[in-house]
Amino acid sequence: MQMKTGVEQSVYAILILNLLPDKAVLPGEAISQQLCASPTYFQKLLRKLVSADLITSVPGVKGGFKLKKKPEDIRVYDIYLAVEGQQSLFSSSGVLHDMLELEEGNSCCLLAGLMEEAESSWKSVLKRKTIASLYEEINNSYQPEVQLLQEWIKEKMVL
């Protein structure tokens, strides 16, 4: 399994929006430039985040995006679901059935339970981390750089 870049870009986009003052918005183009993301692909990601009620889109000349929820209420798992959807990471293709030449209707998969357990563990880790906790980590580790990012946001934001 390899997670698409869209999840990573979406997490960092929401981290950027977390730095906005209350009534400000940030244009999607500015965020995509800051993340070195394809503008057309990034617009699709923003629409997914809006549909998931994680961010709000404000239309118009002075429009842009802002958080819809508090950072402590946005889990990394929520962002993953918004971008990737709910499908399971593993789906048996019946290899064991074919390998053992089992009769039709007799299906089994030794990996299904194992993969379900692994996916459940992975999801629980993503559910523990919030935008607020990630912001705390980045702010503690990269204070000068976060300060520069905040200055960039002040230049790009719309009130």
Cα–Cα distance for residue pair 32/113, rounded to 1 Å: 39
Strand boundaries in the chain, DSSP class E: 55-58, 64-67
Give me the residues paired with residue 58 across strands.
64
Q: Which pair of structure tokens corresponds to residue 3? A: 């997670």
Instruction: Identify the architecture of domain 5-88+130-156 in CATH.
Output: Orthogonal Bundle (1.10)
Domain extents in the chain: 5-88+130-156
Q: Say which DSSP state 26 is in.
A: B
Token pair, residue 83, equals: 């971008």
pLDDT string in tens for the chain (159-residue length)? 566 789 999 999 999 999 999 899 999 999 999 999 999 999 999 999 999 999 999 999 889 999 999 999 999 999 999 998 887 776 666 676 566 767 776 666 677 778 888 888 989 999 999 999 999 999 999 999 999 999 999 999 998
Place of tokens 């960092």: 12
DSSP string for residues in 98-125: HHTTPPTT----SHHHHHHHHHHHHHHH
Residue with tokens 């880790």: 125
